[in-house]
Amino acid sequence: MIRSRKFALPPFARSLSARLLVLTIFFVMLAEVLIYAPSVSNFRTNWLKDQAESAHIAILALEAAPAELISEDLKAKLLSRADAYAVVLNRADRRLLLYTAPPPPVDVTVNLADGSLFEDIAAAFATMSRSGDPTLRLISPTEEDPDLEVEVVLNEAHLRSDMIGYSRNILLLSVVISLITGLLLYLSLQWLMVRPMRRITDDITRFSQDPKDPSVGVSLTRRTDEIGVAQSVLAEMQKDLRGALRQQEHLAALGSAVSKINHDLRGILSTAVLLSDRLSGVDNPEVKRIATPLIQAIDRAINLCTRTLNYARDEGPELTHTRFRLHDLIGEVASDLAVLTDGEGAAACSGPQMVNEVPGDAIVEADRDQIYRVFANLGRNAFEAGARRVTISVSMSDDVDLIVETADDGPGLANAARESLFKPFKGSARQGGTGLGLVIAQDVMKAHGGDLELAESGDDGTVFRLTFRVVG
């Protein structure tokens, strides 16, 4: 029975949409940071190149003057335009120097002809992190003549101020780009993924509240992507679940009917048993010959009704775990099955025998009564199918599992019986059987965390394999 529960969608702060928006903004900002590092390094390099170019132009005025003599006022203006303390032009044959006063001591030297990308990035962040007014000595080759080299002595504070302003602009631009990109990506994903998933979630929620309502279900679309596949699969699962629920209702109604009929049927059969007992006491060979199979048929009918009703009422075994020796349990099953010498068992097989080859140190932790039920069903089925000998042995044991096999010398199972062996009311290999013995045994083993399976079956007999959890 399915119990409907009410589900509510989370608020926006804890929704998938909010998480998607935050992650989008975060990763866009991360991308901007990764872009910022080489960008600010490139800004610093271009700034220094511009300063070197301005200084080169300034010192060319000195070179063009007669005898390289210019006034101090002109020198000051040239240096002011170059934003430098001093400028030096190095040639192969001579050296030009432009300054008005001795420059302050140099704190940092930068050569634009040297340095890799990572070194330039490190130098850029070092420039922005320095405080005060450090003096920078810039060495740069000229673009016109690689043999010419310009040296500039300037105040690095101007460079740091421009880099901080550039970084501020980059930051603001990154925030704007991140928000716009995040919003566009959010809206796109919201339209393409989140909204369809929300519709599926709403449909599933409504379905869980009333799964029997045929008007409630997953709305199918024409999408062919993963969401479309999910819609189709969920719709098919809902259809199957509705069918299972209808079948469950039918089975419940059938079980109720069987329960009501069983009382009357058992009364009728009990009366028939009494009459058969009286017939068996009549001193007439013909009557005795007829009475014996009649009693057996009535017993089979009573057994069929009882097993069917018990299976219909069964909601799974309630387990009470205890530790016990499997060898001792098999011995009890063998003794009890040996009593089948005066009823249906004797008619089916003369002198059935269960051989116990389980070692005495094999200990399992399980419900003893339920495990007894498993081996009793396996042995009874084998004897009723015509086996004369059933051997219980341990095939493998390790630190985790204990593998037990039951091997009989019966005629083997037909192909049709193998296909429906563990299906209720279908897996019986003999006429008049319910097919519930193996089903119940497998359910018990799975409830213990183990399993029951058919290992092999042929003319030499049938072997079933049982898996137990080992207890140290």
pLDDT value at position 342? 41
Task: Please give the chain's pLDDT, 472 residues, in tens.
Answer: 444 455 555 666 666 667 777 887 788 778 877 888 888 899 999 999 888 888 888 887 777 665 556 777 877 887 888 888 888 888 777 777 787 788 888 888 888 888 788 888 888 888 888 888 888 898 888 777 777 888 889 888 888 999 999 989 988 887 788 778 778 877 887 777 777 777 777 777 777 777 777 667 676 677 777 777 777 777 778 777 777 777 777 666 666 666 666 666 666 666 766 766 666 666 767 766 666 666 666 666 666 666 556 555 555 556 788 999 999 999 999 888 886 534 444 334 456 789 999 998 888 889 888 898 899 889 888 888 888 899 999 877 666 688 999 999 988 888 777 777 777 655 555 554 555 678 888 888 888 888 899 988 888 889 999 988 765 5
- Residue 395 Cα to chain centre, angstroms: 35
Measured from the Cβ of residue 145, the count of other Cβ atoms closer than 10 Å reads: 10
How far apart CA 166 and CA 39 sit, in angstroms, is 10
* DSSP 3-state percent helix, strand, coil across the chain (nearest 5): 55, 15, 25
Question: For 367, phi and psi rounded to 5 degrees?
Answer: -80, 115
pLDDT of residue 255: 65
Quote the pLDDT of residue 263: 61
**Longest distance between any two alpha carbons in the chain, whole Å:** 159
pLDDT in tens, 30-51: 887 788 888 889 999 999 988 8
- Model pLDDT, residue 4: 45
Q: Could you tell me which residues come within 8 angstroms of residue 124 by beta carbon, excluding any fewer than 6 positions away?
A: 37, 40, 41, 43, 44, 163
For domain 319-469, give its CATH number from 3.90.1150.10, 3.30.565.10, 3.90.226.10, 3.40.50.300: 3.30.565.10
Nearest CA among 164, 150, 119 for reference residue 48? 150
Domain boundaries, the chain: 12-179, 226-309, 319-469
Q: Which of 428, 448, 450 minimizes the C-alpha distance to 439?
A: 428
pLDDT reported for residue 206: 75
pLDDT for 407 equals 92
What are the φ and ψ backbone dihedral angles of 162, each rounded to 5 degrees?
A: -65, -40
Coil vs helix vs strand at 247:
helix
Q: What is the pLDDT of residues 192-240, one digit of tens each?
A: 777 777 777 777 777 777 777 766 767 667 777 777 777 777 777 877 7
449: alpha, beta or left, given left = phi > 0 and alpha = psi -120 to 50?
Answer: left
Let me know the angle formed at the C-alpha of 392 by 389 and 397, rounded to the nearest 5 degrees.
160
Specify the DSSP class assigned to residue 219: P
Query: Reduced to 3 states, what is the DSSP secondary structure of residue 111?
Result: strand
pTM of the model: 0.44
